[in-house]
Amino acid sequence: MHRARRIAVLASAVVGTVVVSVAGAARTDDFRDEFTTLDARRWVTITRPFGHGAVDAANVSVSNGTLDVKLPAGTLDGGELRTASLYRFGTVRARLRVANAPTSLTAFFLYKAPDYQSEIDIEIFNDTSRRIMFTMYSGGAQTNTVTKLLPFDATAGFHDYAIEWTTGSVRFLVDGAPMQSWAKGVTRSAMHVYLNAWFPSWLGGERPATHRVTSVDWIEYSGR
């Protein structure tokens, strides 16, 4: 992966200021999805090998106003979905409760291929350790990362997680309280909004004895 040339960055910034219908262009319209259904116009569910196992579209569903991402019993599989559209700058938020499935993660993040080029991550350990990671990638490399402790058990209830992204900074908030910010190494590329629950290859790979679920109350994006 190569660092984008300065002219390409300037061109993408200009495109980001105009609402266009070309496929792949960044969107500027706000949304809030409370998951009365799984809207196929907004969300793409994904099936692919990932980590110790795979993410499977069959493990993503909506029921009773909640988006559920299942980690099935006896497997190292999970689920993933992303927005169909790309977004550049603004705030993305999710209210969620993570699965209690040690050695797995729930991630709420912004990403666009190729790997390491453009990514802003919130990754929550699916256990009672209260660990959360904030990470950024830009121009082919990891530019920032830190692991912190939440003031609560993320498996025990719903909490709000947010990424505030501007042209020159990123700030991460939990339940409205700032937990981390960076003003260097910030990508400016338009990205998809993602959410997944999965078993990374750098963790132990313990199969849950029963089905475990990350539940999402809502996800929203605001460009202002």
Question: Would you say 97 and 155 are in contact if contact means Cβ atoms under 8 Å apart?
Answer: yes
Q: What is the mean pLDDT of residues 128-155?
A: 98
Which residues face 32 on adjacent strands? 220
Domains defined along the chain, listed by start: 6-222 (2.60.120.200)
| 42, 79, 84, 171, 193 from 45: Cα distances, Å | 10, 8, 10, 27, 12
- pTM, two decimals, is 0.88
pLDDT band at 26 (very low <50, low <70, confident <90, very high): confident
Arithmetic mean of pLDDT over the chain: 91
Question: Would you say 32 and 57 are in contact if contact means Cβ atoms under 8 Å apart?
Answer: no
Give 60-115 pLDDT, tens digit per residue.
999 999 999 999 999 999 999 999 999 999 999 999 999 999 999 999 999 999 99
Place of tokens 């559920």: 68
pLDDT band at 43 (very low <50, low <70, confident <90, very high): very high
Is the pLDDT at 1 greater than 60? The verdict is no
- Nearest 5 degrees, angle CA 94-CA 221-CA 62? 50
Sign of CA dihedral 34, 64, 175, 81: negative
